[in-house]
Amino acid sequence: MKILYSNFKRNLQNIIDRYSDNGIFVIIDQQVHQILVDNILDTLLHNGDTHIYKIEATEKSKSIEKAIGLWQWLVERGANRKSLIINIGGGIITDLGGFVAATFKRGCSFINIPTTLMAMVDASIGGKTGVNFLGLKNEIGTFTDPKWILINIDLLDTLSYEAMADGYAEMLKYGFIADEHLLNLTYSLDLQAIDKSLLRSLIIKDIQIKQHLARIDKYDQNERRALNFGHTFAHAFEAFATGKNMALTHGTAVAWGMVCELYLSIIHYGFSRDEFHRLHHFVKEHYKTISINCKDFDDIYRFMLHDKKNADHNINFTLLERAGKFRCNQKASQTEIYEALEYVCL
Ligand SMILES: NC(=O)c1ccc[n+]([C@@H]2O[C@H](COP(=O)([O-])OP(=O)(O)OC[C@H]3O[C@@H](n4cnc5c(N)ncnc54)[C@H](O)[C@@H]3O)[C@@H](O)[C@H]2O)c1
């Protein structure tokens, strides 16, 4: 797996040329298709044997039914094991398209072209692919790396503030698990007036952190779990929201999830209360609230009990002693979890 940060069009053309004899199959966010058709797709459309499948980027599309539709499309269009699948979009597309590619004919080559900040720093990197199932996030999936990931930060120019803030939540996560310097540098990025060179250097740094953790612990048993900081609560919030038909983005869920897990970090490891308050204020100011109250705590707790990381019926958390010093595979009591949830209600 290779990540390419420059010469976007030339690299894409070279990759396409390698695979063109066996067909190029593009799975693309329909909104991105509309916006970027003249920008990046001209390279693709000049190829004779290119097929395009547009998808609405919602969590509902990250489903086994949509995967079946894509497998069918690949069969009907004559895709074979040497064909290339190109996923263009945010995390919805890279998760779904990666899963389809990883399973089609026991695995077909694919590349990711992430078009959201979330997908650039996180979803397209590290090889996790998958779909939601029975209301549970990413319940079915594989660990499969794309052949290439093409990073082009100009693709973010058309992204909404909300979508940028979603990816930014994961960038803050990298700061928390890496070190105080990266955390402060990430806080210094102004999403309303983006300094592109700072953004680019932060994206590269974040990708390197994820690559490193995915390399030393591909199957997410030990160190890679640092990346789950904020995510035990986040996945439960997302499952809860899906059940109630409430709109909730992954980034917003992660932002509030980090608030809850920093609270647990204070109790268990004496994490700095000032840093906790800095994050809490930031999240209140920049992210939508999640509409829950104390009557919902039992439901959210039940969703946590389904988390894939759990073992021996214990809910599994990644907690912090300080920025850069994480502790994976931690437990917390039900009372502590409910106390942490109070911060989401306030
Ligand atoms: N596999 C992993 O390791 C991993 C990691 C993090 C998140 N994820 C998954 O990623 C998904 C969220 O991904 P996301 O936040 O990228 O959201 P997304 O894919 O839903 O995209 C967000 C919105 O931005 C639009 N969009 C995308 N690119 C655009 C562009 N360049 N210009 C304008 N609009 C654009 C989309 O149409 C959509 O409306 C979740 O399902 C989450 O579980 C996976």
* Alpha carbon of 56 to ligand 1 centroid (Å): 11
Q: Which residues fall within 8 angstroms of residue 330, CB to CB, at 6 or more apart?
A: 264, 268, 316, 317, 318, 319
Residue type, 264: L
Cβ burial of 35 (10 Å; 0-12, 13-18, 19+) is middle
The reply to whether ligand 1 has any atom less than 6 angstroms from the CB of 31 is yes
Q: Which residues fall within 8 angstroms of residue 325, CB to CB, at 6 or more apart?
A: none
Query: Which token pair is 234?
Result: 């986040």
User: Coil, helix or strand for 135?
Assistant: coil
* Alpha carbon of 58 to ligand 1 centroid (Å): 8
The reply to whether ligand 1 has any atom less than 6 angstroms from the CB of 51 is no
The kind and range of the H/E element at 53 are strand 50-55
The reply to whether ligand 1 has any atom less than 6 angstroms from the CB of 62 is yes
Question: What are the chain's domains?
Answer: 2-158 (3.40.50.1970), 168-345 (1.20.1090.10)
Cβ burial of 208 (10 Å; 0-12, 13-18, 19+) is middle
Atom of ligand 1 nearest to the CA of 62: 41
How would you write the pLDDT of the chain (346 residues) with one tens digit per residue? 999 999 999 999 999 999 999 999 999 999 999 998 777 777 777 777 899 999 999 999 999 999 999 999 999 999 999 999 999 999 999 999 999 999 999 999 999 999 999 999 999 999 999 999 988 888 999 999 999 999 999 999 999 999 999 999 999 999 999 999 999 999 999 999 999 999 999 999 999 999 999 999 999 888 999 999 999 999 999 999 988 999 999 999 999 999 999 999 999 999 999 999 999 999 999 999 999 999 999 999 999 998 777 777 789 999 999 999 999 999 999 999 999 999 999 6
The dihedral through the CA atoms of 252, 254, 258, 260 has a sign that is positive
